[in-house]
Copies of this chain bind each other. A is one copy, B any other.
Amino acid sequence: MSGNTSGNSLPLETTIKEYRPGLEGVIACRSSISYVDGQEGLLEYRGINIRELAEHSTFEETAYLLLYNHLPSEREFSQFKMLMARLRILPHLIRDAIEEFPVGMHPMLALQSAISLLQADDYYADDISSPQHNLRRAISLMAKLPTLITTFERYRSSEEPLPPSSKYSHAENFLFMLTGEPPHSLAAKVFDRFLILHAEHSMNASTFVARAIASSNASIYSSISGAVGSLSGILHGGANERVLRMLYSIGHPDNVEEFIEEQLATKNRIMGFGHRVYKVKDPRAHILEEYIPDLVDQLGGEEVKTLYQTARRFEEVAAQKMASRNIHPNVDFYSGIVLEALGIPVDLFTAIFSMARVSGWCAHWLEQIDTNRLFRPSQDYIGDHQRAYVPIENR
């Protein structure tokens, strides 16, 4: 009858005895947000193939689809974009607090911290009974992430943060607030596709964390802040940054073969290849790589061009050497190259992933509180029992 109790709790006998590390194969929720078929290499957002969305949609429209489960009419979309434009602006109090963040900290921890602070602007955040308010909170978070990231980035570079401009799209605004330059049209287009492709991916670790935090009826700020924390881990969101560092450490296409052979011989991980879900090539990787040649050609300097050639050679050699093992490049293999070509600082890569994924997290937060049950799994206790408390003088 109290908060953490329930009349319909199952007897303890019905514990599922089998322990699945990482809850692999365990159904943690019912969801209608996205669908991944790892055998077919298919990813759908609300039933629509991401290839269609990457070709025809924008990040704003895709975010709308994820939140509302339908594509917007012209009127709905224009209102949504106006609301996003308004909510992109950061309250002064939050900006002042970010100005005091230690400049040496990792941007992902700064983002995690900044998102919790946003609750200050939503005094009744713990009242989640109104679906309208909850949707508005989700839109506000999506709108504000680029502002939070670029505000921290500019403060740590001793530059004044730039306010968003209502004449720019979401993708354009990020590039503008980062650099102060009007965004290049190809850069904005590819970055927008990047955001679409990273917006949502069913039950990954950070989305699961967002739902787990939501399940105690914690506010959207607590939940999304925690999801950012999960994404910051190197086993999750940090992969594209590591691919990039790996490719730079290889340095030239001619060094690829030796590097891969060495990695295989020593059974080291090869970053950016394979995926726990996809058994064929990641469909996001397929789409993203199509945009890279133009991007590298038009925007990349010599370094980025060599990087791209190294990556192409890497894919060729890996295909030969690992073909029998059914391991393919995943989206992280390409996304680091895209962000590098866009001139984004490497330690912001995961924060930018958050900027896309926040739309999926928010959709999951809304779905979770709508059909909520507190996450309280069991443990397999393997410790001692009935140990005595020995007084300190006898230890």
Query: A residues touching B (Cβ–Cβ < 8 Å)?
Result: 1-6, 9-10, 12, 14-35, 38-39, 44, 46-49, 52-53, 56-57, 61, 69, 71-74, 77, 93-94, 96-97, 99-102, 104-106, 108-110, 112-114, 116-117, 119-121, 123, 125-126, 202-206, 208-209, 212-219, 221-223, 225-226, 228-239, 242, 269-276, 327, 330, 332, 371, 373-393, 395
Contacts and interface: CB of A to CB of B under 8 A. Distances in A.
Contact of A53 (B29, B213, B327, B389): B389
Contacts of A33: 383
Given A6-B276, A71-B395, A208-B212, 16 more contacts: A2-B332, A3-B271, A10-B24, A23-B375, A24-B373, A24-B377, A33-B383, A35-B381, A71-B392, A109-B219, A203-B377, A212-B212, A213-B230, A219-B232, A226-B230, A276-B374
Contacts of A236: 3-4, 216, 218, 374
A272 B217 CA distance: 17
A105 B120 contact: yes
A217 to B, nearest CB: 4
A128 to B, nearest CB: 9
Contacts of A217: 233-235
B24 A23 contact: no
Contacts of A270: 1-2
A218 B239 contact: no
A209 B227 CA distance: 10
A56 B391 contact: yes
A120 B101 contact: yes
Q: List the 6 closest A-B pairs by CB distance, nearest first.
A: A216-B233, A32-B383, A222-B229, A226-B226, A47-B384, A102-B120
23 contacts: A5-B273, A6-B276, A15-B26, A22-B373, A23-B376, A26-B378, A28-B378, A29-B380, A32-B384, A44-B387, A53-B389, A56-B389, A97-B97, A102-B117, A102-B121, A112-B222, A203-B378, A216-B233, A222-B232, A225-B225, A226-B226, A235-B374, A276-B376
A378 B38 CA distance: 12
A153 to B, nearest CB: 15
B389 A48 contact: yes
Given A9-B276, A25-B10, A212-B205, A2 B269 contact: yes
